[in-house]
Structure 1
Amino acid sequence: MARPPEFDRAEALVKALHLFWERGYERTTVRDLTEAMGISAPSLYNAFGGKKELFDEAVAAYTGSSTSVVPPALQERTARAVFAKILEIAIREYGSDTQPRGCFVISDPVLIDERLLGRVAIRARMQQACDDGDLPEDSSVEALTDYIDIVLRGLSSIARDGVDPDAMRAAADVALRAWPRPRRRTTRS
C-alpha cells in the first residue's frame, strides 16, 4: 500500500506555480522548487514526475483558473466590450497582491504556445466582430489582435515593475479610447 503524501499537493502546486511565475521555467531549479514547496526531491518526483511535468501542471492550473484574462472576456457582446473586459480583468489580476504580479503566460519565454492560443482566440473574436459589422469596414483584424496583445503585454510588464493599479487603469483608459468606432448600421424604412 502506497503511503499518502506528507504534504498538501494542491498547496505545493500553487507554491511551484508562483515560483515559476516569478523566475520562469529556465531559471527555476528543482532545488528552488523543493525549498519553496517544503518537500524533498523524491517527494516532488513521486507526486509530480519531475520539473517539466510540474511546470506543465502549473501552467494548466493557471490557464484553467478563474483568474484567466482572455477567455471570459470573449463572451462580451461587442468587440469594444471584449477589450474593456480584458483590460478590467488584466488590471485586477496583474496587480493582485495574492500572487506574483503580471501575467505568468506573458512573462515566461517558454510559454509561446500558450500566448499563441490566446492570440488565436482574440483574433477569432475580432474576426467575428468584423463579420458582424461591429468594427469599421477598413478594420484590420490582425492589427486589432496585435493591439490587444501589445496592451496586455505592456500592462503585465508595468505590473511586474510594481506600478500601481490606478496607473494601469489610466493607461488602459487611454488604450480603450483609441478603440475604433463600429460601423453605423443603416435602418430600412
Structure 2
Amino acid sequence: MTGRPRTFDKDAVLRMAMRAFWERGYDGVSVAQVCADAGIAAPSLYAAFGGKDALFEKACALYTAHLDEDLERDLSAPTAREAIERLLRSSAEHFTAPGQPPGCLVMGEPRLAARRERTRGMIQARLRRAAAEGELASAAEADGVAAFVDTVLTGMAALARDGADRPRLLDVARHAARAWPT
C-alpha cells in the first residue's frame, strides 16, 4: 500500500527547521512546532526526514554547506595573515546577514562541538602551514594564533546574537587583525 504523495515542499520545510534550530537551538525546537509552522502533520515530517535528530542533522548540513566553501576560500589566501583577515571579515558579514538570524548556528549549538573542532582544525592547519613557510615563528605560535582566532570568532557570534550590528563586528575583526604577530 502506498501513501499519499507528499504535498509540501521538503526543501522549504528543511529551511524552516534550520532557521528554527538556529534561532532557538536543538532543545528549543519540537517536532510539533516545526509541523505547526510548516502546516504539515507529524507523520509527513517523519516520513520525509525521520525523527528530530535526523531533521537536525539535515538542517545543519544545509547550514554548513556554504560555510565550508567560504572557509576554504578564506583560508586559501596567499598569506596566513590575509586568510585570517578574510575569515574574520566574512564571519562578521555572515553573523549579521540581512534576512537570517544573527550569529551562527554552529557556534551557538552545544551539539555541534565536533563541527566547531573541525573548523578549528582547518584554521590551525592553515596557520601551521604558515609556520612551516616562515610566516609565523613556530608551530606553537601558530597554535596560539589559531586559539585566539577561534575565541574571536566565538565572541563575534555571541555579540551578533546579542544584537551587535555589522559595523561593530567589522570593527572587532579589524582590531583582532591588529594582534597578528610581528
What range describes the TM-score normalised by the shorter chain of this pair?
A: over 0.9
Q: Does the 8 Å contact 1:16/1:36 carry over to 2?
A: no
The verdict on how the C-alpha distance between 1:68 and 1:26 changes in structure 2, with shifts beyond 3 A counting, is: farther
TM-score by length of 2: 0.93
Whether 1:165 and 2:166 are equivalent positions in the alignment is yes
* Aligned residue in 2 for 1:40: 41
Q: Which has the higher helix share?
A: 2
Aligned length: 181
Question: Counterparts of 1:43-62 in structure 2 under 5 Å?
Answer: 43-62=44-63
* Aligned residue in 1 for 2:181: 180
The verdict on how the C-alpha distance between 1:68 and 1:161 changes in structure 2, with shifts beyond 3 A counting, is: farther
1-side partners of 2:48 and 2:63: how far apart? 19
Deviation at 1:3, TM superposition (A): 3.6
1-side partners of 2:103 and 2:144: how far apart? 23
2-side partners of 1:173 and 1:60: how far apart? 30
Give percent identity, aligned residues only.
36
Question: Counterparts of 1:124-135 in structure 2 under 5 Å?
Answer: 124-135=125-136
Read off the aligned partner of 1:28 and give its amino acid letter: V
Deviations 1:131-175 (A, max 9, x none): 011123485222111111001001100101111111111111110
2-side partners of 1:42 and 1:142: how far apart? 48
Q: Does the 8 Å contact 1:31/1:41 carry over to 2?
A: yes
2-side partners of 1:164 and 1:131: how far apart? 37
The verdict on how the C-alpha distance between 1:145 and 1:138 changes in structure 2, with shifts beyond 3 A counting, is: closer
* Aligned residue in 2 for 1:74: 75
Q: Which runs of 4+ in 1 moved over 4 A?
A: 66-69
Q: Does the 8 Å contact 2:131/2:138 carry over to 1?
A: yes
Question: Counterparts of 1:1-189 in structure 2 under 5 Å?
Answer: 3-65=4-66, 69-137=70-138, 140-181=141-182
Query: Please, which runs of 5 or more residues in structure 1 have no aligned partner?
Result: 182-189
TM-score by length of 1: 0.89
1-side partners of 2:116 and 2:139: how far apart? 26
1:140 counterpart SS class: helix
1:77 counterpart SS class: coil
Read off the aligned partner of 1:140 and give its amino acid letter: E
The verdict on how the C-alpha distance between 1:91 and 1:68 changes in structure 2, with shifts beyond 3 A counting, is: farther
1-side partners of 2:96 and 2:68: how far apart? 12
Deviation at 1:70, TM superposition (A): 2.5
Q: What is the RMSD of the two structures over their aligned residues, measured on CA atoms?
A: 1.7
Deviations 1:43-78 (A, max 9, x none): 110100111001000111111126865232111111
Deviation at 1:22, TM superposition (A): 0.8
Deviation at 1:112, TM superposition (A): 0.4
